[in-house]
Structure 1
Amino acid sequence: MPNLSIKDVPDAWAEALRQRAAGNHRSLQGELMAILEAAVMGTTPAATLRTAMPTGHVQGWKTVAQIGAELDAKYPTPVTGVPLGVDIIRAERDAR
Structure 2
Amino acid sequence: MVTIVVRNLDEGVKQRLRVRAAKHGRSMEAEVRSILEESVRERENFGVAIIEAFRKHGGVELDIPPRTEMPRVVDFGPE
Q: TM-score, normalised by structure 1?
A: 0.42
- Structure 1 residues 15, 42: closer, same or farther in 2, change over 3 A? farther
Structure 1 residues 65-80: aligned runs within 5 Å: none
What's the offset of the Cα at 1:42? 4.2
Structure 1, unaligned runs of 5 or more? 44-96
Query: Relative to total residues, which structure has the larger helix share, 1 or 2?
Result: 1
Match of 1:28 in 2: 28
Q: State the structure with more CA Rg.
A: 2
Which residue identity lines up with residue 37 of structure 2 in the other structure?
Answer: E
Corresponding residue of 2:41: 41
**Residue 16 of structure 1: aligned partner:** 16
Percent identity (aligned): 30
Partner residue, 2:3: 3
Q: In structure 2, how many angstroms separate the alpha carbons of the residues matched to 1:12 and 1:3?
A: 23
Q: Distance between the aligned counterparts of 2:14 and 2:42, measured in 1? A: 23
CA distance in 2, matches of 1:2, 1:19: 25
In 1: Cα distance, 2:38 partner to 2:2 partner: 18
Give the deviation of 1:33 after TM superposition.
Answer: 0.7
Which amino acid counterpart does residue 14 of structure 2 have in structure 1?
A
1:35 Cα deviation after fit: 0.1
Structure 2 length normalisation: TM-score?
0.51
| Number of aligned residues | 43
- Where does the alignment leave 5 or more consecutive residues of structure 2 unmatched? 44-79
Tell me which stretches of 4 or more aligned residues in structure 1 moved more than 3 Å.
none
Higher strand share: 1
Distance between the aligned counterparts of 2:22 and 2:42, measured in 1? Answer: 23
